Structure 1
Amino acid sequence: MTSATDPSTALTPFPDHTQLPESDGTFVKNWQEHPQSILLTDSITPVLKQLHPEGQYCIGQDLGIYWRLTDPPERGAEAPDWFYVGNVPPLLDGQTRRSYVLWQEFIAPLIALEFVSLDGSEERDKTPWKGKFWIYEQVIHPAFYGIYEVKKATVEMYELIGGQYQLLTANERGHYPIKSLGVELGIWHGVYQNAQLPWLRWWDLQGNLLLTGEERAEQESQRAERESERAEQESERAEQERQRADRLTAQLRRRKAACR
C-alpha cells in the first residue's frame, strides 16, 4: 500500500471488511461478466490448490479492494472484475470476505482484470486519485493488470516494473505468461454457457488449455467411453479368434477322420 495520502481522506479509525460496504449499489454492466469470472476461477482452481495446498489464497469476483478512507466509503474502493491474491486466508475471523482491505492485509493482488463494457477509457484512466489505471498502478499495485475487451476479442496486459505498468507483448501463441502461477492468459474462441464468444482463458506454460470442471468431466466421460469401446472391440476380436480356432480344430478333426 502506498504511503501517499489524499488531502480529502478523513483521519478516522480504520474499519475492517465487516464494517465497509460490500457493494456500491450499481448493476453489473453486461451479462457476460459473471460467466467470464466463473470461467477464470473454475479453470485455475486446480493450479491454485497445488500452489496453496493449505488453501491460503483469495479470489475476488467484482469484490471491492479498499485502499483509502472516504465518505462515502465506496469511493475509496476499486472492484476489479476478477483478481487473485496469494498467501492470505480465504476467511477472516471465520467469516466470508465481504471485501479486500489493504490496510488490514497489506498484500497486493498478483493479478487484477477488468472487463470492458464501454470504450475502455475508464479502465485506462490515469487521472490521479480517480482513474482506475492510476489507482492500480500507484496504490493497489497488482503485479499484472489486464484489460479485456470482448467486442475486440483482445486482452491488454501490463506488468508492474519499477513502480510503473509496462505494456506486455504476447508470446508466439498470443498469450501472456504469468510464470509465478505457471499459466498463460489469452483469448479462446469457443462456446461456454451456451455462448459463442472470444472468452478470456488460462493455459499452462506449454500451451495446454486449462479446463473447467465440466470440461474435465466431459473429457473423462469421453475417455471412459473410448476405453469401453476399446474393451468391447478387444472382446469381439477375442471371440472371433476363438471361433476361428474352433473352426480350425473342427477341420483338423474332419481330416483325421477322413484319413482313417
Structure 2
Amino acid sequence: MTSLSELTLPDHTQLPDSDGKFVKNLQEHPQSILLTDSITPVLQQLHPDGNYCIGQDAGIYWRLTDPPEKGAEAPDWFYVPNVPPTLNGKMRRSYVLWKEYVAPLIVIEFVSGDGSEERDKTTPSQGEPGKFWVYEQAIRVPYYAIYEVEKARVEVYHLVDNTYQLMTPNEREHYLIKPMGVELGIWQGVYQNAELPWLRWWDAQGNLLLTGEERAEVERQKRKKIVEKLRHLSSEQLQSLGIDPEMLD
C-alpha cells in the first residue's frame, strides 16, 4: 500500500493548461487586460517583493480526476496574494492548490450565457460539482464576482462562515474588496475602441484606477497645460525661470 509520503502529486507542468474550448466572446480578452493593467500599481504596493499571481482564463486545479482537466476551474480572472507568478524560472501553466495551499483572494467570471453556469450550486452528491459550489466550498475563495456585460451589472459574493453572502454595493454602486483596498464596479466608456460597460477598479475614495495608457495621457494633458501657460510669459520672464523660450516652439 502506497503511503502519503510516497505519493507524488502532479504539478503545473504535468497537468493540462487548456480544456480545448474557445474564448466565448471578443470582449473577454481586453476585459482581463483592463483589470490587470489598472490594478498592477496597487498590487505592486501591496507586494513590493513581487509575490502575487494573476490568472486570466487559467486553470485552478482543486482535485485529481481522470481526465485531469475535469478537476479544474478556469476563472476568467483571479488574483492570489503572496504566491509568485513563476516556478523554477518559468511562468505557471496553471495554479495547483495541492502544491500551494493558498486560495485566490478573488475570482471573476464573465457571463456569456444566462449566468446559470456561474451560479451553479450543484454539490458532488448531486452530480458534477457546479462552479459556484466549487469556489465556495472546495477552493473557498473569499470574493467571487459575476460580471454580466449584457445587463451592465456585476454581483459580488463574500465568503462568511463558509457560505457566500451576496454583498450590498456602496453609494457609488461599487463593491469594496477590503483586503486589496479597492472597489469593483461598472464603468461605461471606451476601451480598445469599444464603447461598453466595462468592469473596473476604483480606490477606496472612489477614484478610478487608470491603465498605463490612461495615466500617460493624463501626464500629457498636464504638460500641455503647463506649456500653454508658459507661452503667455515674456522671454524675460521665461529666462528668469531658467526656461529657454525656444523650447516652447
Matches within 5 A, 1:123-202: 123-129=118-124, 130-202=129-201
- Partner SS, residue 146 of structure 1: strand
Q: How far off its partner does 1:234 sit? A: 2.8
**Residue 95 (str. 1) matches residue 109 (str. 2):** no
1:175-224 per-residue CA deviation (whole Å, 9 max, x = no partner) reads 00112111000000000000000000000000000000000011111111
Matches within 5 A, 1:46-61: 46-61=41-56
Q: How far off its partner does 1:98 sit? A: 0.2
- Counterpart AA for 2:114: D
| Greater alpha carbon shift after TM alignment, 228-237 vs 147-156 | 228-237
Q: Give the Cα–Cα distance (whole angstroms) in 1 for the partners of residues 155 and 232 of structure 2.
A: 50
Q: Give the Cα–Cα distance (whole angstroms) in 2 for the partners of residues 81 and 43 of structure 1.
A: 16
- RMSD between aligned alpha carbons? 1.3
**Residue 42 (str. 1) matches residue 41 (str. 2):** no
Q: 102, 127, 150: which is aligned to 1:107?
A: 102
Q: Structure 1 regions of 5+ residues with no counterpart?
A: 1-11, 240-260
**Residue 215 (str. 1) matches residue 222 (str. 2):** no
1:82-115 per-residue CA deviation (whole Å, 9 max, x = no partner) reads 0000001121111110000000000010000000
Q: Give the Cα–Cα distance (whole angstroms) in 1 for the partners of residues 235 and 207 of structure 2.
A: 36
- Counterpart AA for 2:19: D
| Alignment match, 1:66 | 61
Q: How far off its partner does 1:235 sit? A: 3.4
Q: Give the Cα–Cα distance (whole angstroms) in 1 for the partners of residues 197 and 234 of structure 2.
A: 44
Q: Which structure would you say has the larger Rg?
A: 1
Q: Give the Cα–Cα distance (whole angstroms) in 1 for the partners of residues 27 and 235 of structure 2.
A: 49
- Counterpart AA for 1:125: D
Q: Structure 2 regions of 5+ residues with no counterpart?
A: 1-6, 239-249
Q: Give the Cα–Cα distance (whole angstroms) in 2 for the partners of residues 47 and 166 of structure 1.
A: 26
| Alignment match, 1:247 | none
Q: TM-score, normalised by structure 2?
A: 0.89
Q: Give the Cα–Cα distance (whole angstroms) in 2 for the partners of residues 191 and 46 of structure 1.
A: 21
1:2-51 per-residue CA deviation (whole Å, 9 max, x = no partner) reads xxxxxxxxxx7410000000000100001100000000000000000001
| Alignment match, 1:118 | 113
1:47-97 per-residue CA deviation (whole Å, 9 max, x = no partner) reads 000010110000000010000000110100000000000001121111110
| Greater alpha carbon shift after TM alignment, 229-238 vs 122-131 | 229-238
Q: Give the Cα–Cα distance (whole angstroms) in 1 for the partners of residues 46 and 160 of structure 2.
A: 24
| Alignment match, 1:79 | 74
Q: Give the Cα–Cα distance (whole angstroms) in 1 for the partners of residues 234 and 73 of structure 2.
A: 62
- Partner SS, residue 78 of structure 2: strand
